[in-house]
Amino acid sequence: MSLFDKYAPLQARVDVMMKMGRDALGLQFDDIISTTRARIGNREILLAGTNNYLGLTFDEDCMKAAKDAVDNHGTGTTGSRIANGTYSEHIDLEKSLADHLGMPSCIVFTTGYQTNLSAISGLAGDKDVVFMDADAHACIIDGTRLTGASTIRFRHNNPEDLDKRLKRQGEIEGGNALVVIEGLYSMFGDVAPIDEFVEVTHNHGGYLFIDEAHSYGVFGPTGCGLAEEQGVLDKVDFISGTFSKSLASVGGFCASRHPEFEILRKVMRPYMFTASATPANICAALAAVEKVKQGEALRANLKARGQQLHKGLSEMGYDLCADASPVIAVRRPNEVVAAMEWNGLMENGVYVNLAVPPGTPQSSSLLRISLSAAHTEDDINIILKAFSDLKDNQGQLMSDMSAKLQG
C-alpha cells in the first residue's frame, strides 16, 4: 500500500479525461497575446474562461503601475507584514478599497483564497457558529476548518432556509452567528439575494460576510459589487474580494464596517505567517481600483456581451444554469461528454473552462464561460459558432468518444 494508492480512483478518472484529448485541468498556453487571445502552438485561441471581467490585465495604466512598482520597490516583499514590515503600497491600497466601499477598515492579503481563510478563521471562534451557503467556495469551507466553530450549511441562495436554521439554533451561548455567502456564484453564474440575507441575518443578531470575488468590479453603480447593486452595502458586516479577477492582479481584501476588524491583523494565522503581496501585484490592483470606480462603460459592455451569449446559447437549446451574467455555465450530461466537447471547442479555437465534480454544485459537469469587457460582439459570435458546431457535430463527437474510450 503506497501513499498514492488512495488516489487510484482519481487517476482512473484523469486517464479517461486524457483519452479525450488535451489536459483540460493543466492546459498550457505558449503565449498570452492580449486579454482575449492566447496562442497554443501556432493556433490562436479566443479566451472565454479567464475571469478577467473588466479586461484590465493589459490596461496600460495597470501595466505601468506594476512596472513602476518593480523599479521603485523591487520584485518581492520577502516576508510577512507582521514579521518583516508593511510597504506604503499595502496601506495605499487598503485606504483606496476602504474608501471605495465606504468602510472604516480594510486588510489586503496575498491571494483571494488566503483572504477568506484568514478572515473567516479569525472572525469565528470556538463558541461561534458559521452558517454557510451549500455552494460555498473551497476557501470558505477551508476557512471554517481552521476554526473551532461549528458549521451549519443552508440551502443555496435560500434566505428562508437560513432563517429556519438560525431560529432552530436559537441563542448562541457565549458566541455569535457568522453567515457567509457569495455575491455572484462562480460556477453557475447565479446571484445571491443579498438584501434578503442582510435582513434575515440581522433579525437574528448575526453578522453577514459576503465574498464578492466574482462581483466586485462587475456590479453596482461604482463597481463595489452586488451589495452595492442591491442598495445594502452599508449594512453588510464584511466584504471580501480578490485581485485576481476584475482587479487584474493577484491578492485579496476584506473590508468591514466594524473598525474593530483591525485587531484581526494580530490573530489571523494565514495572514501572519505568509509573505505579503509584491509591490507589482499591489500597484496593479491599486490602478485597477481607479478603473473600477469609473468603469460604467466596461460594465455596460460586459453586461451586453453576457446577454448576447446567453440569448444565443439558449436559442440553440443549451441547458444554461442561470440567467445572463458574466459567468455562463452550460450543463452537460457527464464529465466525459463535457471533456470531449471541451476538446471540440479547443479545436475550434475557443477556450472555456471544463468544470467537474467536486468543484461544481450538484455534482454537475459544465462548460463554463466567463466573459470580459474586452470581448467584442464579434468575439461572442465566434463563441456561439463554436457551440453551434458542437451541436452540428454531436453524432461524430459521440462516436469519436466511444472509440477513444475503447482504445
Which residues make up the interface to ligand PMP (CB under 6 A)?
A: 111-113, 116, 137, 139, 182, 186, 211, 213-214, 242, 244, 252
Considering the complex, what minimum distance in angstroms separates the CB of residue 293 from ligand PMP? 20
Order of strands, sheet of 327-332, starting from the edge strand that comes earlier in the sequence: 327-332, 365-370, 353-355
Considering the complex, what minimum distance in angstroms separates the CB of residue 93 from ligand PMP? 15
Considering the complex, what minimum distance in angstroms separates the CB of residue 114 from ligand PMP? 7
Considering the complex, what minimum distance in angstroms separates the CB of residue 115 from ligand PMP? 7
Compute the distance between CA of residue 126 and CA of residue 349 in angstroms, rounded to an integer.
51
Compute the distance between CA of residue 326 and CA of residue 380 in angstroms, rounded to an integer.
12
Q: Which residue's CB is nearer to ligand PMP, number 111 or number 121?
A: 111
Residue linked to cell 505579503: 276
Considering the complex, what minimum distance in angstroms separates the CB of residue 195 from ligand PMP? 20
Which stretches of 74-193 are DSSP H helices?
81-84, 88-101, 112-123, 138-145, 159-169
Compute the distance between CA of residue 56 and CA of residue 85 in angstroms, rounded to an integer.
29
Please list, in sequence order, all residues whose beta carbon lies within 8 angstroms of the beta carbon of residue 228, skipping any fewer than 6 positions away.
Answer: 219, 220, 221, 222
Considering the complex, what minimum distance in angstroms separates the CB of residue 245 from ligand PMP? 7
Please list, in sequence order, all residues whose beta carbon lies within 8 angstroms of the beta carbon of residue 166, skipping any fewer than 6 positions away.
Answer: 131, 177, 179, 200, 201, 204, 206
Q: Which residue's CB is nearer to ligand PMP, number 36 or number 240?
A: 240
Q: Which residue's CB is nearer to ligand PMP, number 112 or number 295?
A: 112
Compute the distance between CA of residue 403 and CA of residue 392 in angstroms, rounded to an integer.
19
Q: Which residue's CB is nearer to ligand PMP, number 51 or number 86?
A: 51
Compute the distance between CA of residue 396 and CA of residue 407 in angstroms, rounded to an integer.
16
Considering the complex, what minimum distance in angstroms separates the CB of residue 111 from ligand PMP? 4
Q: Which residue's CB is nearer to ligand PMP, number 179 or number 386?
A: 179
DSSP annotation string for 198-239: HHHHHHTT-EEEEE-TTTTTTSSTTS--HHHHTT-GGG-SEE
Considering the complex, what minimum distance in angstroms separates the CB of residue 124 from ligand PMP? 17
Considering the complex, what minimum distance in angstroms separates the CB of residue 213 from ligand PMP? 4
At 4 the three-state DSSP class reads coil
Minimal CA–CA distance to 215: which of 199, 194, 235?
Answer: 194
Q: Which residue's CB is nearer to ligand PMP, number 207 or number 209?
A: 209
Q: Which residue's CB is nearer to ligand PMP, number 66 or number 340?
A: 66
Which residue number places its CB atom closest to ligand PMP?
A: 112
Compute the distance between CA of residue 98 and CA of residue 27 in angstroms, rounded to an integer.
37
Q: Which residue's CB is nearer to ligand PMP, number 212 or number 341?
A: 212
Q: What cell was used for 356? A: 467537474
Q: What cell was used for 400? A: 469519436
Q: Which residue's CB is nearer to ligand PMP, number 242 or number 325?
A: 242
CA–chain centroid gap for 192, Å, is 14
